[in-house]
Amino acid sequence: MFNTDSLAWKWHIPELARQIYPWVSWLYQEYYGLAGAFLVIGLFF
């Protein structure tokens, strides 16, 4: 069961990556900005 799931994921990941990559690259840029903000908030609270 786990083997078929992992194979399915390996099959779908390249297709998903093609569709999601522009979003992911944008999200990573946003994520680092948000991570910095949360770090500052975490330090003060």
Which tens digit of pLDDT belongs to each residue from 1-45? 455 666 666 667 777 777 877 777 777 778 888 888 888 888 887
Answer positive or negative: Cα dihedral of 17, 19, 24, 25: positive
**Which pLDDT belongs to residue 10?**
66
**Which pLDDT belongs to residue 38?**
87
Vertex 9: Cα angle to 8 and 13 (nearest 5): 125
**Which pLDDT belongs to residue 1?**
47
- What does the block give as tokens for 43? 């330090």
3-class DSSP assignment, residue 1: coil
Type of residue at 25: S
Local structure of residue 45 (DSSP, 8 states): -
**Which pLDDT belongs to residue 2?**
53
